[in-house]
Structure 1
Amino acid sequence: MFNQMMIPHHEQAVEMADLVPSRTQNAQLRALATQIRDAQQPEIDQMTARLKSWGVDVDSGDDHSGHGDMGHSMDGMMTPAQMTALEQASGAEFDKLWLTGMIAHHEGAVSMAEPELADGVNPESRAMATQIKTSQQAEIDQMKTMLGQ
């Protein structure tokens, strides 16, 4: 379940990161978005491979970007309206919306990792949950600092 839920969650974070280069000149935000994309896309690939190795169907045709029906029901997922607002923003407005949205998104991922850390039995999934909790909490702290500047 952790892998199945975290894949669409990560996919939305990658989609959000992909918006950054065309909407802001903020070098720190651009670097952070690249860091997030570069961390989460390989994790998506690992979780997808893990599910396939277990014989679990991976619904790659579904829209998990946050524009579909199920995406925003998970912890921290941006709603379709929030994603549209983000897509239409630029400059300082975009920076604030993106940072606020990504903080909530990361907080959701951290909370999604908790049950896996408490009850998960697959060592690779538990290791990934630990990595997600650690790295995303550090990025939350960084983004909160960026919002305060």
Structure 2
Amino acid sequence: MKRAFALAVVPALAIALTACGDDKDSGGASPGHSMPGHSMPASPGGSQAGPHNAQDVTFAQMMIPHHEQAIEMSDLAASRASSPEVEKLATQIKSAQGPEIRKMTAWLTSWGASPEAGGMNHGAMHGMMTEKDMKDLKAAKGEPFDTSFLDMMIKHHQGAVAMARTEQSSGRSPEAKQMAAGIVSSQTAEIEKMQTLLKQL
């Protein structure tokens, strides 16, 4: 009787041990082990990697410093603008362009490109202000600031719209082209608003 019980238990034990081994080998993850194909976390912006070309890279590399200067100009309005409308517009510009900078930086990372526009002269970019322009803007206050800010930001926006239109026609990345379309739409509307504000000063 004891021998019969032993003969029945051994095969059952062997089957149980084999099943445990099969679970691990077939992809079942044991504690402390990652599943095949999931050992590395997704890199930042990895979900945005996709079809792109040199124009997409150039667009992001040029638009990042362009947006950064627009934010720098907008930051000045809080302590220098006399028009509530100018201050409100500056806040609007800053809140829109900050997230776009982060998104474009993520694209460049996912594309294996540097966020820095290597070898490019930022001063020669569309609508960028010179060091003297920025110095003069920082020195202005009240209505003179409002006038200078609007004049400069109109030119700055016109430059951004020109770069965005180039991306629309020559880019390949769907995400970058979608952003370019948004820039054309939003900044064209802001240009019209700033032109109106200028007439009211």
In the TM superposition, residue 2 of structure 1 has moved relative to its aligned partner by 0.5
TM-score (norm 1): 0.92
- 1:26 corresponds in structure 2 to 83
Residues of 1 paired with 2:98 and 2:59: CA distance?
16
Residues of 1 paired with 2:137 and 2:121: CA distance?
19
Q: What amino acid is aligned across from residue 124 of structure 2 in structure 1?
A: S
What SS class does the counterpart of residue 134 from structure 1 fall into?
A: helix
Aligned runs of 1:26-105 on 2, under 5 Å? 26-59=83-116, 70-105=121-156
Question: Structure 1: which 5+ runs fail to align?
Answer: 63-68
In the TM superposition, residue 48 of structure 1 has moved relative to its aligned partner by 0.3
- 2:183 corresponds in structure 1 to 132
Residues of 1 paired with 2:108 and 2:192: CA distance?
31
For residue 174 of structure 2, the aligned residue among 115, 123, 141 is 123
Native 8 Å contact 2:76 2:138 kept in 1: yes
Residues of 2 paired with 1:71 and 1:87: CA distance?
19
TM-score (norm 2): 0.68
Residues of 2 paired with 1:83 and 1:138: CA distance?
24
Aligned runs of 1:12-23 on 2, under 5 Å? 12-23=69-80
Q: After the TM superposition, which segments of 4 or more aligned residues of structure 1 sit over 2 Å from their partners?
A: none
Q: What amino acid is aligned across from residue 141 of structure 1 in structure 2?
A: E
RMSD (Å) for aligned C-alpha atoms: 1.5
Identity %: 50
In the TM superposition, residue 4 of structure 1 has moved relative to its aligned partner by 0.6
What SS class does the counterpart of residue 129 from structure 2 fall into?
A: coil
In the TM superposition, residue 59 of structure 1 has moved relative to its aligned partner by 3.1
Larger radius of gyration: 2
Does residue 110 (structure 1) correspond to residue 161 (structure 2)? The answer is yes
Question: Structure 2: which 5+ runs fail to align?
Answer: 1-57
Q: What amino acid is aligned across from residue 126 of structure 2 in structure 1?
A: D
In the TM superposition, residue 26 of structure 1 has moved relative to its aligned partner by 1.3
Q: More displaced, 123-132 or 51-60?
A: 51-60
Residues of 2 paired with 1:89 and 1:55: CA distance?
41
In the TM superposition, residue 25 of structure 1 has moved relative to its aligned partner by 2.9
